[in-house]
Structure 1
Amino acid sequence: MQFCNQCGAQMNDGAKFCPKCGATIGQPQAPQYSQPNNDQSFNAPGFNPAPNNYQQQTQVPPQQQVYGQVPPPQQQPPVYGQNTQIPPYQAPKTGNFFKDILNTPDYTAQYDPADIANSKGITIASYFWILFWLPLAVNSNSRYGRFHANQALLMLIASAACSLVSWILNLIIGAIFVVKNTVGNAFMTGNYSEYVTSGFGLFLSGLFGFILAIPSLAFLILGIINAANGKAKELPIIGKFRIIK
């Protein structure tokens, strides 16, 4: 009595084939190999062990081996003449109304020093009322010139608004404080009357006109001082608006 080498079935002596699995009796078994671990080598023909994953990893540069993290990229210094992200400088609040209202953002660090030097004269001239367009006509690519052209345009609009308010107030005061004035004429047989603004009304008109002229004069002086000092500093109250960009 013999047994099949493949399936272990019982066979008669002298049988050449297994009645159960059909294997040939006496045929040598195919070698069975066990899977080696990564620390063993196997020299069996046709066997290609799995590659060691640790040996195939790309080496990490030394500066990237700190706690397994890649350091953030170094920030490049700002390039003048471009829209940089440098925040404007502004001094802390002091609690003084007049000092705080003059404490406006200063964007000078965002502009090219060469551009400031070349545009200084033309930016000063732009604050003389309707000459805000001069920096645009001379060099439209100058960012510093465009900044002051925008500030000068805002100053012109504010001055026009103050003049309009002053004119409206004069009309109102003239309608309220009106008196009848009798005028005599030597070449006429009689006198005639006319309506004029009283002395108090004229005083109020002059007072309001002077008060409304102060902002325009202050914007003019501050704009010229900033341009002469090579500073891209906003005018108080109105300087934050951008018309010319």
Structure 2
Amino acid sequence: MNEIQKRPDRDAEENMGLGIVAYILFFVPLLAAKDSAFARHHANQGLLLLLLVIAVNVIGNIPLIGWLLYPVGMLLVLALFVVGIVNATQKTKKSLPIIGGINLIK
């Protein structure tokens, strides 16, 4: 067990910046901090947010229904984006509401 795994508070302290970057480019923390549970958690949340953006855009292209749901979906994405960045800056591993329970990156 390495030192980062022994001290999760230090992990969050050292990788807070990568946690924030994860919501813009989810794969960067996976490359820069392979052993960090904090960075992996936020990379997972960033990936889920990216998949939600893709789904909202696909649904948004459906005539009528999609045109009505698209603005609501993008507001949801924006709110989740802000929540994720706030969680990373507070050095917590809280999951995003609604989509955060899914674990794609182990």
Report the TM-score, using the length of structure 1 for normalisation: 0.40
Task: State the partner residue of 1:234.
Answer: 95
Percent pairwise identity? 33
Distance 1:113 1:158 in 2: 29
Distance 1:215 1:160 in 2: 13
Root mean square deviation of aligned Cα: 2.0
Report the TM-score, using the length of structure 2 for normalisation: 0.88
- Find the partner of 2:11 among 115, 137, 153: 115
Aligned runs of 1:210-225 on 2, under 5 Å? 210-225=71-86
Are 1:167 and 2:91 counterparts? Answer: no
- Find the partner of 2:40 among 146, 158, 181: 146
Task: State the partner residue of 1:48.
Answer: none
Deviations 1:69-103 (A, max 9, x none): xxxxxxxxxxx826xxxxxxxxxxxxxxxxxxxxx
Distance 1:149 1:161 in 2: 18
Task: State the partner residue of 2:23.
Answer: 127
- Which structure has more RCO (C-alpha within 8 Å, separation ≥ 6)? 2
Q: Give how far 1:159 is off.
A: 1.2
Normalized per residue, the structure richer in helix is 2
Q: Give how far 1:209 is off.
A: 2.6
Give the total of aligned pairs: 103
Opposite residue 22 of structure 2, the aligned amino acid is S
Asked whether the 8 Å contact 1:159–1:215 carries over to 2, the reply is: no
Runs of 4+ residues deviating >4 angstroms: none
Structure 2: runs of 5 or more not aligned: none
Asked whether the 8 Å contact 1:147–1:232 carries over to 2, the reply is: yes
Distance 2:55 2:91 in 1: 28
Q: Give how far 1:208 is off.
A: 3.2
Opposite residue 146 of structure 1, the aligned amino acid is R
Opposite residue 225 of structure 1, the aligned amino acid is V
Structure 1: runs of 5 or more not aligned: 1-79, 83-110, 174-203
Asked whether the 8 Å contact 2:22–2:39 carries over to 1, the reply is: no
